[in-house]
């Protein structure tokens, strides 16, 4: 009897999945049908004859922008989507463009109105503020849309093989190339990938999202990318949220298209640098200008040391002045301090996290957790010799540093990185400098903690060393 029930459940589940897939296929078909209507209506109010004769070729090379020897990032301006609804309430294009201009290889702008709350008017607004090529992202089905995209300043377009047959693709692609525009050809399965290759697409975007059920699977990039001919520029799209994912997929893809995961974050600057560079910290800050240097180089966190015997020790007032220099997320470093002292310092300065560098045990951490605001993270530092320490609980980040004699941290020494287990939970410190950060970044840790290796003297950060270090971190 139970076997029959299991069989019936499997049939019901299969029917449910088939129905869901059919419903999503219907959604895609509905979007395309609505786009046909939109194109007809737009042609009536803005005939192609009124602007086509005035079009000039794009002067921003989409293909060159994505093929400069560095991992490329197409960062997207997206207000809403069918799967997530409204993503960014405060959709300030000026702010978005000012952030993307610092990090993007190209910038994608959603222009579909009904499903993404986009607009063609967004294209010139973004393009006027950036130097990168601007990609018009829409459901392209008619050459009219290609001309319209160029009219509004687009330097590239998206063509989806889930929407177009080969003849339609060639027709739209020919118009785009006549206008000097690049093409991002999107595929989501092996059949579409084979078509893209046959169509000689130069840039192929592998969509990790299943357009039938909206699920994401980053393994799709890993499975499909190796099947592409050498020389193809591969862009991984959808489902990318972390720097670790970027690092992992960069072995298979030349670049990434990232939208929703960035647009959902209020602090866009912070969100972008986390994805592109990782969640790195510059510790031992003692002056406001050093905080500025760390922030400009690409750091997310700034470390303030409250340990008396440290050469970089600061008092409350010096810490406050240092913090005024740049909007880093500040981490206070303590060693065997009283819980009351730490809690008071956190309250007074509004610290993002406390980092414990002493003999604090589990009971201490449990008590500290109860004494701190829920939003304040606890980081625990461990001195590493020839084996991995036992990691404590109630800790948001574990920081590994070299232990030399009785001293943990501040030694400028590197420990044996092969000892690291579960790097996704680890902040890595100890002897990091511009010469070894690239190798350190490959380990897949949450972030790197830089200090003496980017100084000209204890407590004074060197802008040249900082820039070189973060340039090496970005080189993947």
Active-site residue, from 58, 236, 238, 261:
238
Active site residue 174: no
pLDDT for the residue 422: 85
Same domain, 265 and 313: no
CA distance 43 to 220: 38
CB-CB contact of 419 with 404 (8 Å): no
How many helices (H) and strands (E) the chain has is answered by: 17, 21
Mean pLDDT (10-residue bins), the chain, 476 residues:
43 40 71 97 98 98 96 98 91 98 98 97 98 99 99 99 97 99 98 98 95 84 98 97 96 97 96 98 98 98 97 98 98 98 98 97 98 98 91 96 71 87 91 97 96 96 98 95
Task: Enumerate residues 6+ apart whose C-beta is below 8 A from 7.
Answer: none
215 tagged catalytic? no
208 and 234 together in one domain: yes
Domain end: 256, 274, 292, which one? 274
State which of 274, 303, 334 marks the end of a domain.
274
CATH of residue 147's domain is 3.20.20.70
Q: Are residues 213 and 341 in the same domain?
A: no
The answer as to whether 15 is a domain residue is no
**Last residue of some domain: 209, 243, 274?**
274
220 Cβ partners below 8 Å, 6+ apart?
Answer: 188, 206, 207, 208
Query: What distance separates the 2 farthest-apart alpha carbons in the chain?
Result: 79
Pair (47, 171) in one structural domain: yes
pLDDT in the model for residue 421: 85
Residue 288: CA count within 13 A, CB half-sphere: 8
In a domain, 85, yes or no: yes
Active-site hit among 137, 274, 461, 465:
137
What is the structure's pLDDT at 15? 44
Q: Is 188 a catalytic residue?
A: no
Do the domain assignments include residue 128? yes
98/42 same-domain check = yes
CA distance to 137, 216, 264, 337, per residue, from 204 (Å): 14, 18, 26, 55
Indicate if 237 belongs to the active site: yes
CA–CA dist 329, 318 (Å, integer): 16
Same domain, 178 and 300: no
Both 347 and 470 in a single domain? Answer: yes
Q: How many domains does the chain have?
A: 2
Is 115 found in the same domain as 60?
yes
Asked whether residue 413 is domain-assigned, the answer is yes
Q: Hey, which residues does 461 pair with through a beta bridge? A: 455
Residue 8 lies in a domain: no
Which of 404, 397, 406, 405 is closest to 449 using CA atoms?
397
In a domain? residue 5: no
Of 81, 105, 108, 207, the catalytic one is: 207
Does residue 317 carry a catalytic annotation? no
Q: For residue 94, what are the domain limits?
A: 25-274
Confirm whether 76 is a catalytic residue.
Answer: yes
The reply to whether 10 falls in a domain is no
78 is catalytic: yes
Considering the domain boundaries, does residue 93 fall inside one? yes
């Amino acid at each position: 009897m139970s076997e029959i029930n299991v069989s019936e459940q499997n049939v019901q589940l299969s029917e449910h999945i088939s129905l869901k897939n059919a419903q999503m296929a219907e959604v895609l078909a509905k979007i395309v049908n609505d786009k046909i209507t939109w194109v007809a209506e737009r042609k009536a109010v803005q005939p192609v004859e009124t602007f086509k004769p005035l079009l000039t070729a794009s002067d921003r090379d989409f293909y060159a922008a994505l093929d400069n020897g560095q991992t490329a990032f197409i960062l997207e301006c997206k207000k809403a989507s069918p799967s997530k609804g409204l993503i960014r309430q405060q959709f300030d294009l000026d702010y978005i463009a000012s952030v993307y201009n610092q990090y993007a290889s190209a910038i994608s702008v959603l222009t579909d109105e009904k499903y993404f709350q986009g607009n063609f008017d967004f294209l010139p607004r973004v393009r006027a503020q950036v130097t990168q090529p601007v990609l018009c992202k829409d459901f392209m089905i008619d050459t009219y849309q290609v001309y319209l995209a160029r009219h509004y300043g687009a330097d590239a377009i998206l063509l989806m093989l889930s929407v177009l047959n080969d003849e339609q693709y060639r027709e739209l692609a020919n118009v785009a190339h006549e206008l000097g525009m690049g093409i991002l050809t999107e595929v989501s399965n092996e059949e579409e990938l084979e078509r893209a290759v046959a169509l000689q697409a130069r840039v192929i975007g592998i969509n990790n999202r299943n357009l039938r059920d909206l699920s994401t699977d980053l393994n799709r990039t890993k499975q499909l990318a190796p099947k592409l001919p050498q020389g193809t520029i591969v862009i991984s799209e959808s489902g990318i949220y972390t720097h670790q994912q970027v690092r992992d997929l960069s072995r298979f893809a030349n670049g990434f298209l990232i939208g929703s995961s960035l647009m959902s974050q209020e602090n866009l600057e912070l969100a972008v640098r986390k994805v592109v560079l990782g969640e790195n910290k510059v510790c031992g800050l003692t002056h406001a200008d050093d905080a500025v240097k760390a922030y400009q180089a690409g750091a997310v966190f700034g470390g303030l040391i409250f340990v008396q015997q440290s050469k970089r020790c600061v008092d409350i007032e010096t810490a406050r002045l240092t913090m005024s220099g740049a909007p880093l997320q500040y981490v206070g470093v303590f060693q065997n301090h009283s819980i009351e002292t730490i809690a008071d310092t956190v309250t007074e300065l509004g610290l993002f996290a406390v980092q414990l560098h002493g003999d604090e045990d589990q009971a201490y951490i449990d008590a500290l957790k109860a004494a701190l605001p829920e939003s304040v993270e606890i980081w625990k530092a461990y001195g590493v010799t020839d084996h991995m320490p036992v990691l404590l609980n109630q800790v948001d980040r574990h920081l590994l540093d070299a232990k030399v004699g009785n001293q943990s941290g501040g030694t400028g020494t590197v420990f044996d990185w092969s000892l690291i287990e579960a790097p996704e939970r680890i902040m890595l410190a100890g002897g990091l400098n511009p010469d070894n950060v690239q190798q350190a970044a490959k380990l897949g840790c949450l972030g790197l903690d830089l200090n003496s290796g980017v100084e000209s003297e204890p407590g004074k950060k060197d802008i040249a060393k900082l820039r070189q270090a973060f340039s090496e971190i970005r080189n993947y």
